[in-house]
Amino acid sequence: MKFFLLLSFIAFCWAQYDPHTQYERTSIVHLFEWRWVDIAKECERYLGPKGFGGVQVSPPSENIVVYNPYRPWWERYQPISYKICTRSGNEEEFRDMVKRCNDVGVRIYVDAVINHMCGAGGGAGTSSTCGSYYDANKREFPEVPYSAWDFNDGKCDGEISNYNDAYQVRNCRLVGLLDLALEKDYVRGVVADYMNRLIDIGVAGFRLDAAKHMWPGDIKAILDKLHNLNTAWFDSGSRPFIFQEVIDLGGEAISSSEYFENGRVTEFKYGAKLGTVIRKWSGEKMAYLKNWGEGWGFVPTDRALVFVDNHDNQRGHGAGGASILTFWDARMYKMAVGFMLAHPYGFTRVMSSYYWERNIQNGQDVNDWIGPPNDNGVTKEVTINPDTTCGNGWVCEHRWRQIRNMVAFRNVVNGEPFSNWWDNGSNQVAFGRGNKGFIVFNNDDWALLITLQTGLPAGTYCDVISGDKIDGNCTGIKVYVENDGTAQFSISHCAEDPFIAIHVEAKL
Ligand code: AAO
């Protein structure tokens, strides 16, 4: 028995499914397009103190520089070499960020673009973030080095046109991007060297971009070559956390379960469905969320990386479509993120964005390419306003009180069961997490006034959505839990945020 327990302990701690966040930190945030110097500061001044577990950073590998359109965000998904050298900063700045974040208990996860290099139409020259030479026509990337032999074109010289053909999806070009031949030992070795450099610097894991476009076995061969995490910050024998970008909304040849052995997968159904429910589209209601999670056909909770929106589908790229909620729909968005962070399913990622000028024509944003706030292409600093929000065009959803406090809520209720569900058969719902936390939503068009069993110890609690507990007092709504665990909740359907959340650390 002891031996078995030890084995399962090892499997849990050391496996690729474990994000290696510090004890009681349960969410990560994607600081999309941020500079390394700003992330280092954010770890120290905000993420560490507020209980965030880690940061997904934009791809650190040298990329092509695109001028038409002008410096789109997506140029970073077209690698030219594996030098750490992008608009986010150089290698020295990257190292400094990893160290400073780890030192305050915040992990770094790298977005690894290893399926492809730049687009076939990328031309030749040194239009790259570190000035490395490349020739997309000849498929030569001497800085790596890769040559024509290292690409899949022998098998398929065309585009992916049919997502019902797994062979095409994995061997042809995704939107014209030169597809690496990951079955070659040489290519696997080069990719693993890149990832190992990052591991040795101290990153905790990787998002594998376009994982669906790589054979699961090729990914595994690369992962098998990876070092254990740096023991300056991690237990010896710790394996890098892996989450694979596999878009599986059903109905295609490739399913996410094919990737479970390698690590977690992005569950795209999550945000698409939650958006549909909160928007009340297609006859959906919050009452149906009672069996949210596997009950909705999602992957097993210990294989899921979940999010309300990501950098693609917040602007119409990728998958999920119009139901996806973003900061542009702030009121519904806060409810969705609040629900996600309160609910036990999956490992959660919060999105942190920048503003761009949307220009929707025929349902599509023609400005979906616009890059981060910049001066002549140089990414702007993330400045912090006196009220703790961000300036210079950065949205910083992770700093919104409602979201930041729900990140803390999730930490407080970690490991507690889903409990005390209540619904009105429509869009008023509530649930708890054992005897640690409770949340109530009113997404109906009428007021909610009801007494509910919270499961919490008696006392006065601060609602962490409308305010904070500061100096022994609530700056927002107070909730009184009686000796029998019940409390009365009143939520107007016109409230700025029609939901209330309480937890034991916000008790007076
Ligand atoms: C840019 C230009 C292109 C140009 C190319 C090369 O925009 O015009 O040809 O350069 O020069 C990002 C941008 C791309 C950009 C690329 C490189 O989004 O616009 O191309 O950088 O700079 C697929 C992939 C998925 C991918 C997603 C965007 O499966 O891996 O497309 N996401 C990642 C990154 C992303 C990045 C890349 C990959 C490339 O997160 O930022 O691209 O590194 C179906 C499939 C999905 C597929 C979508 C979109 O989804 O299932 O797998 O995602 O189509 O093609 C319903 C369906 C749903 C369907 C969806 C859309 O919702 O249920 O299944 O409709 O049809």
Which of 317, 323, 324, 353 is the pocket-test mutation for ligand 1 (most atoms within 8 Å of CB)?
Answer: 317
CA distance linking residue 75 with residue 83, whole number of Å: 15
What's the 244 CA to ligand 1 centre distance in angstroms?
14
CA distances from 446 to 320, 378, 493 (A): 29, 48, 5
* Cα(32)–Cα(379) distance, integer angstroms: 12
Provide the sign of the torsion angle of the four alpha carbons 130, 135, 140, 142, taken in this order. negative
- Give the integer Cα–Cα distance in Å for 491 and 168: 51
> Is there an atom of ligand 1 within 6 Å of 42 CB?
no
Q: Centre a 10 Å sphere on the Cβ of residue 175 and count the other Cβ atoms it contains.
A: 14
* Cα-based distances in Å from 482 to 194, 272, 289, 505: 57, 38, 27, 17
**Which of 394, 406, 444, 403 is closest to 423 using CA atoms?**
444
What is the pLDDT at residue 155? 80
91-103 and 185-201 helices, crossing angle to 10°: 50
- The residue whose CA is least distant from atom 11 of ligand 1 is 119
Q: Using a 6 Å cutoff on CB, does residue 255 contact ligand 1?
A: no
DSSP state of 251: S
Tell whether ligand 1 has an atom less than 6 A from the beta carbon of residue 316.
no
Strand partners, 264: 243
> Is residue 147 within 8 Å of residue 186, measured between CB atoms?
no
- Give the separation between CA 119 and CA 123, rounded to whole angstroms: 9
The C-alpha atoms of residue 214 and residue 212 are separated, in whole angstroms, by: 5
Does residue 103 sit in helix, strand or coil? helix
CA distances to 81, 91, 169, 176 from 146, in Å:
9, 21, 22, 18
Q: What separation in angstroms does the CA of 430 have from each of 25, 330, 370?
A: 24, 21, 39
CA gap 442, 286 in Å, rounded? 9
Which active-site residues does the annotation give? 209, 245
Q: Give the per-residue pLDDT at 117.
A: 98
Residue 14: the pLDDT is: 60
The answer, yes or no, to whether any atom of ligand 1 lies below 6 A from the CB of 63, is: no
- Show the DSSP H helices in 253-387 as ranges: 268-279, 330-342
pTM score of the predicted model: 0.97
Entry field: residues in the chain: 508
**Any atom of ligand 1 within 6 Å of the Cβ of 212:** yes
Q: Best substitution site from 57, 134, 174 to test ligand 1's pocket, by max atoms within 8 Å of Cβ?
A: 174
Which protein residue's CA is at the shortest distance from atom 53 of ligand 1? 318
Residues of the chain short of pLDDT 70, as ranges, are 1-14, 157
Tokens read off for 102: 């780890």
Helix (H/G/I), strand (E/B), else coil: 276: helix
482's tokens: 């009686």
Evaluate: CB of 179 within 6 angstroms of ligand 1. Answer: no
| Triad 68, 74, 78: Cα angle to 5° | 95
Q: Whose CA is closest to atom 49 on ligand 1? A: 318
Cβ of residue 77 lying under 6 Å from some atom of ligand 1: yes
CA of 318 to the centre of ligand 1 (A): 5
Distance 394 CA to ligand 1 centre (A): 24
Give the C-alpha separation, 209 to 213, whole Å.
9
**C-alpha of 50 from chain center:** 18
Indicate which residue's Cα is closest to atom 15 of ligand 1: 74
Detail the DSSP E strand segments found in 120-211. 124-125, 134-135, 177-179, 205-208
Minimum-distance ligand 1 atom for the alpha carbon of 177: 6
Pocket of ligand 1 contains residue 247 by CB under 6 Å: yes
Residue owning tokens 């999602």: 298
Q: How far is the CA of 307 from the centre of ligand 1 (A)?
A: 17
Q: How far apart are CA 499 and CA 501, in angstroms?
A: 7
